[in-house]
Amino acid sequence: MQAVYDSLIPQIDAALPGLDKLHCLLGFDGTVDIICKPVEMREGAGDQFEAFSTIRDFGQRVIDADGKSALIEIVAEREKIGGNGPIMANALAESGLPVDYIGTLGKPDIHPAYCEFAKRLQVHSVANPAVTHALEFSNGKVMLTNTGTYDDVSAETLEREIGEAMMTRLVEQSKLCCLLNWTCLAELNSILVWYLETILPASCSDPERIFFFDLADPSMHSDDRIKAVLDHIGHFSEYGRTILGMNFNETCQVSRVLAIDEPDSEPKSLCQALEAIRSKLGIDCAMGHPVDFAACATANGSWSVVGPHTATPKITTGAGDHLNAGFGLGMLLGFTPEDALKLGVLYSGYYVRTARPPHLNNIVDFIQILKKPSK
């Protein structure tokens, strides 16, 4: 099954020399992620504990405390950059693409968690980062986030801190523009309108420029607010190729809001939903990814690709952002949608096994490793 990835190897080899010409612009969030294990049973000091294995087990402890109270210890394992934008931007920069990042990375000084990030990318920080405690389980994660600093991220803030002229130049030089984490950025709609009404009309036209969107889980928002942002996203197709990336839960939510039958978590059903979402929004591509595969739909059809699943991931927080990075890069490089999906699931698969983003060279090696029989 893993040998289906082989078609990428010659394409990756051909793409390597030109990566430094593919400028990317991403924004506008920024979080300090504290990766944690929630303790189910403690047997002694330090690491002498048993963590909750699944979200269901953890959730049952919370349910059992209804009407009473509960104290659940969390053990912080590491601190890292977080947020849809920084993780995706870091993954793209790792492969040698020039990246500008606008977001909440610290003000007036860059937060210590972002110092290395700021050395590798061109950063434009407009506020302090949010803080997320990511509770990791064998079957997913629960992210507890304080996003108060995101209230400072608006069109007015960007106009003051970045400026219309600079933003226009950044868009003009970029082949991939990613506008991410609408759910947590309360004023992102104002930024989308600023782009549509001011920045993009003033930018040099490039029909091959890609606009990539990831709403992040929009379940806390009303249907009317979700419909509004989807309408804005549709209008970006007037200025380039527009892609909406979603995990499976987000695909179901967008389907419901658009009065489309919600998909099952199997390829045919998901592809049908993505085809309908793409058509209703008038965008170039809709992409969705459950845990074990990814799918996408364009005007030319739909495809699904199985991912290189592992039962023992080192990290899961950020896996979807790495899939977005690989898929977006594949589309940017002119891969077929199916091959772009392959690159996406490989980026994600490499990351969850190693807890670090891959370079494209690493993906070639990873494909070879996956072909070896499991011991």
Average pLDDT on 247-265 reads 96
Question: Residue 356 above 50 pLDDT?
Answer: yes
Question: Residue 118 above 90 pLDDT?
Answer: yes
Tell me the H-state helices in 107-247. 115-120, 155-161, 164-173, 188-194, 200-202, 223-235
- 37-78 tens-digit pLDDT: 999 999 999 999 999 999 999 999 999 999 999 999 999 998
Question: Residue 1 above 50 pLDDT?
Answer: no
Rounded CA gap, 306 and 268, in Å? Answer: 13
- Specify the pLDDT at position 138: 87
Task: Tell me whether the omega of the peptide bond preceding residue 28 falls within 30 degrees of 0, making it cis.
Answer: yes
Question: Residue 308 above 70 pLDDT?
Answer: yes
Is residue 27 within 8 A of residue 125, CB to CB? The reply is no
Please report which confidence band the pLDDT of residue 140 belongs to, taking 50, 70 and 90 as the band edges. confident
- Specify the pLDDT at position 312: 87
- Specify the pLDDT at position 3: 52
Rounded CA gap, 334 and 11, in Å? Answer: 10
Lowest mean pLDDT among 90-99, 145-154, 233-242: 145-154
Token pair of 256 as six digits? 């419901």
Please report which confidence band the pLDDT of residue 141 belongs to, taking 50, 70 and 90 as the band edges. confident
What is the percent of the chain with per-residue pLDDT over 90, rounded to a whole number? 87
Classify 2-37+81-371 by CATH class: alpha beta
- Specify the pLDDT at position 374: 61
- 214-237 tens-digit pLDDT: 999 899 999 999 999 999 999 999
SS3 call for 315 = coil
- Specify the pLDDT at position 80: 87
Beta-carbon contacts of 72 under 8 Å, excluding residues fewer than 6 positions away, are 38, 39, 58, 61, 62
Question: Residue 362 above 50 pLDDT?
Answer: yes
Question: Residue 115 above 60 pLDDT?
Answer: yes
Rounded CA gap, 369 and 363, in Å? Answer: 10
Question: Residue 201 above 70 pLDDT?
Answer: yes
- Specify the pLDDT at position 139: 85
Question: Residue 150 above 50 pLDDT?
Answer: yes
- Specify the pLDDT at position 311: 86
Report the mean per-residue pLDDT for the chain. 94
What is the percent of the chain with per-residue pLDDT over 70, rounded to a whole number? 98
Domain ranges of the chain: 2-37+81-371
Question: Residue 318 above 70 pLDDT?
Answer: yes
The string of DSSP codes covering 57-94 is: HHHHHHHHTTTS-----EEEEEEEEESHHHHHHHHHHH
